[in-house]
Structure 1
Amino acid sequence: MDLWTVHLGTVPYGEALALQERVRAARQADAIPDTVLLLEHPPVYTRGRRAAPGELPLGEAFYAERGIEIVDVDRGGKVTFHGPGQLVAYPVVRVGDVMGFVGLLEQAMVEALAQAGVAGRGRAADGRDFTGVWVGERKIGSIGLHISHGVTTHGLSVNVDGDLTPFEWIVPCGLGGVAMTSIAEEVAVGADVMDCFRKRLAHRLAEGMGRRQRIVTPARLERELAGLPVG
């Protein structure tokens, strides 16, 4: 079976969220195969279902002055940051064992990071607050999912070579005192680090799901979604 992989470039968060909903509806209707959307976002904080008010301690005006949007979302998890230099992957796939799928996402990140020279480890077994991938005690990859009628939306993010400062202005993932890191913080990287890591992660995701990766253009995806209902 195929896993469609779509490289979208940089996409505003709201636009990507709307696209996920359309892709989910198509997947639920079996109109398309399992699909992974790979992209970056302009600066945005997202608040998951378990987020607490104190996780954005500096107030919305502070973040707005720095050009960072705040969006409430229906995924699991708490507050996190997305921005340029961070790879985001939204797998829109059928799942049965949700925790098993979380472990698969962690493992795919760990393996892709190892290829980049970074030794990471998944910590979902330590409790849901620690879900994601860590380098020592520093967090490099996050996971937050939503499941509707057996199909996932939202997904994972890995810090590649972006500015990590916005993480210092929040309580990332609800964990006070946690330092974030990136591939660029851990090893020397070249100008093509994002492109290389995106390819590695896409390959590992397909391999972990036991699927054959098929690169699909955004235009092809739009053609397949045309006329399909949302919801």
Structure 2
Amino acid sequence: MAELWVADLGLVPYDEALALQRAVRAARQAERVPDVLLLLQHPPVYTRGRRTDPAELPLGEAWYRERGIDVVDVDRGGKVTFHGPGQLVGYPIARVTDVLGFVGLLEDAMVAALEQEGLAARGRAAEGRDWTGVWVQDRKIGSIGLHVSHGVTTHGFSLNADLDLEPFSWVVPCGLSTPMTSLSAERGGGPVDLRCLRKRVAHEVAGRLGVKQRLVTRARLERAIALEDDRAPVVHEDAVVQVAGDGAR
């Protein structure tokens, strides 16, 4: 049975995680590894997708950086979003043929995981790319933004567990003037067991892909992708999926 390798990386700086994604992508394109799901958190950072308008960061990059939030331009679809501790970020590096179907799969996996946490949510990708993600009534709790190169995805999704939501109010998240929420906020406050949420999401993604989940350490993953041979892979970027999200951006 085909496998999905799942690696729990903990708290990882954004640039470091992006470099790892690209190395895993090169290995996946070369069929050295199966599909991989990286699960992690980031220090505070805004990421800007290719459709981001400068007006969506109205206070200026210097203002954000003074408050300890980095600003990074990325090659995913979607617009600006925020990542920070207390948010579950997932980067699926997967071979896909139906990209929009894969977006729906990620929405469904997050919705199912939240349902197991006692929260009713829904995906809205069918309503148009600006509504892609996971919602609790009119509040957005999960975002998706992908990049596809030679049939393999990078970037992915983010799911707000118990992170500080205030930085979302300092930008126009995902290009929408809609409220952002979190699992903690919907429960009325308090911590969220991220380890449990992470396991639920990974299980749901693997199940919807119809594959067996295999947990791997970062060291095991790096050995498999032979990072020392992939420091400067030549990869032609051939598709950007224009979906709003974060995600995991």
* Ranges in structure 2 where 5+ consecutive residues have no aligned partner: 236-249
* CA displacement, residues 61-86 of structure 1 (integer Å, 9 cap, x when unaligned): 11011000000000000000000000
Q: Residues 60-209 of structure 1 correspond to what in structure 2 (within 5 A)?
A: 60-176=61-177, 178-187=178-187, 191=191, 193-209=193-209
1:95-152 Cα distance to aligned partner (Å, 9 max, x none): 0000000000000000000001111100001110000000000000000000000000
TM-superposed CA distance for 1:222, in Å, is 1.0
Equivalence for 2:31: 30
8 A contact 1:110–1:133 mirrored in 2: yes
Q: Secondary structure at the match of 2:46?
A: strand
Paired residues of 1:133 and 1:141 also in contact (CA < 8 A): yes
TM-score, normalised by the number of residues in structure 2? 0.90
Q: 2:53 and 2:192 mapped to 1: Cα distance?
A: 37
Q: Give the match for residue 217 of structure 2.
A: 217
Amino acid at match of 2:180: M
Distance 1:65 1:103 in 2: 37
**CA shift in 2, pair 1:189/1:208, >3 Å:** farther
Cα distance in 1 for partners of 2:190, 2:166 equals 21
Query: Partners of 1:63 and 1:189 in 2: how far apart?
Result: 26
Alignment match, 1:2 = 3
Equivalent residues, number:
230
Change beyond 3 A, Cα 1:190–1:165: closer
Instruction: Report if the CA contact (8 A) 2:162-2:191 is conserved.
Output: no
Give me the identity figure in percent: 67
User: Which digits, 9 at most, give the CA deviation of each residue in 1:13-39, with x for residues without a partner?
Assistant: 000000000000000000000000000
- 1:189 offset after TM fit, Å? 7.2
**Whole-angstrom distance in 2 between the partners of 1:81 and 1:110:** 20
Q: In 2, distance between residues paired with 1:181 and 1:158?
A: 10
What SS does structure 1 have at the residue aligned with 2:17?
A: helix
Q: Aligned letter for 2:76?
A: R
Shift of 1:48: 0.3
Cα distance in 2 for residues equivalent to 1:189 and 1:70? 28
SS at match of 1:77: coil
Q: CA deviation at 1:228?
A: 3.5
Counterpart residue type for residue 58 of structure 2: P
Higher mean alpha-carbon deviation, 85-94 vs 56-65, is at: 56-65
Specify whether residues 189 and 33 from structure 1 end up closer, same or farther in structure 2 by C-alpha distance, changes over 3 A only. Answer: farther
Contact 2:183 2:192 in 1 (8 A): no
Contact 1:26 1:228 in 2 (8 A): no
